[in-house]
Amino acid sequence: MVTVLDTRKVAEASPRPRHPEKAHRPDTEVLPKPDWIRVKAPVTPGYFETREIVKSNKLVTVCEEAGCPNIGGCWDKKHATFMIMGGICTRACSFCNVATGLPHALDPEEPASVGRAVAKMGLSHVVITSVDRDDLPDGGAEHFVQTIRAIRAAAPGTTIEILTPDFLRKPGALERVVEAKPDVFNHNLETVPRNYLTVRPGARYFHSIRLLQRVKELDPTIFTKSGIMVGLGEERNEILQLMDDLRSADVDFMTIGQYLQPTRKHHPVIRYVTPEEFTSFETVGKTKGFLLVASSPLTRSSHHAGEDFERLKAARLAKQAAA
């Protein structure tokens, strides 16, 4: 756990604080991690191979930028989540390790670079996410479209999952992205509505719910997905209510994972949720009608995304057959 603001080089800039907006905050108390949270250091040949492809194509990954604990396992299996539109985000969520600031201009070559990397890695399923780009008139929707098209051209057999920002106050942006027909549309709620002002202050809970609902209205063939972190002070009943809200929006797949604090300046971990509680969320979620619920301490929205996509397709077919 670092105690000072991280000044590692951000993706396209010279060294600068990643979180200038958090610099004034007092250090928070840090809870000792329980045994079930520990992960191994990434040292395998597969990990280094993935790192080489990422670096040589000058790509940014959320795996690195968010300091994801699963990076060793995922990169070993050549599964990385590409983060397009740069490594600087216009929002300043209190849980997130992605750098905050004024982003750079879009790189018009980036969609093709992502397409090439996906083809080279031979991925059957890829996850593409982005920083929030409130500075762009369309919130980056067209760049998502170009990236989806570039992947389809370079790797036609690869299924595409996108994890998007909320496109708040960007009329028409969502519709453009849905038209490009990703296989899975993911947008994370991140936490329960009561926490939004402290955890996700730039976002609006019901806007995010409506965004997910709108994807299904526009194209019911696209799988929809959303995720939350727990351990941010939420109550169990609030999670159950959030599940109902997602089901009202016809969301297919929900992910639930433990929040981990990137630095002492970020939102504190209020508590570590036990593996048994995670299992219980999965059980309850399934009874509420999700096609799939992934719930464990190290679940992240892109973790095992390829395998989960296969399970999603099978679950939809089984539901249709039973109807």
Q: Smallest distance, Å, CB 75 to ligand SF4?
A: 7
Judged by beta carbon, residue 87 or residue 233, the one nearer ligand SF4 is: 87
Closer residue to ligand SF4, CB minimum distance, 60 or 92 = 60
Q: Cα–Cα distances in Å, from 59 out to 74, 84, 165?
A: 16, 8, 19
Q: How far apart are CA 37 and CA 196, in angstroms?
A: 25
**Choice between 120 and 194, CB closer to ligand SF4:** 120
CB 164 within 8 A of CB 129: yes
Specify the stretch interacting with ligand SF4 by CB under 6 A; choose among 69-77, 96-104, 183-191, 270-278.
69-77
Beta bridge pairs of residue 294:
255
By CB under 6 A, residue 224 contacts ligand SF4: no
22, 133, 200, 300: residue in contact with ligand SF4 (rule CB under 6 A)? 300
74 binds ligand SF4 (CB under 6 A): yes
Torsional sign, CA 151, 155, 157, 159: negative
| Residue among 153, 301, 157 at smallest CA distance from 226 | 301
Q: H or E element: which one contains 280?
A: helix 275-287
Rg over alpha carbons for the chain, rounded to the nearest Å, is: 19
Interface with ligand SF4, residue 200, by CB under 6 A: no
164 Ramachandran zone, left/alpha/beta (phi>0; psi -120 to 50): beta
71 vs 92 by CB, closer to ligand SF4:
71
Binding piece for ligand SF4, criterion CB under 6 A, among 2-10, 63-71, 107-115, 226-234: 63-71
Least Cβ distance, residue 218 to ligand SF4 (angstroms)? 26
CA triplet 127, 294, 259: central angle to 5 degrees? 80
Cβ of residue 81: shortest distance to ligand SF4, in angstroms? 4
Site membership for ligand SF4, residue 160 (CB under 6 A): no
37 DSSP assignment:
G
Of 79-108, binders to ligand SF4 (CB under 6 A) are 79-81
Interface residues with ligand SF4 (CB under 6 A) are: 62-63, 68, 70-71, 74, 79-81, 300, 302-303
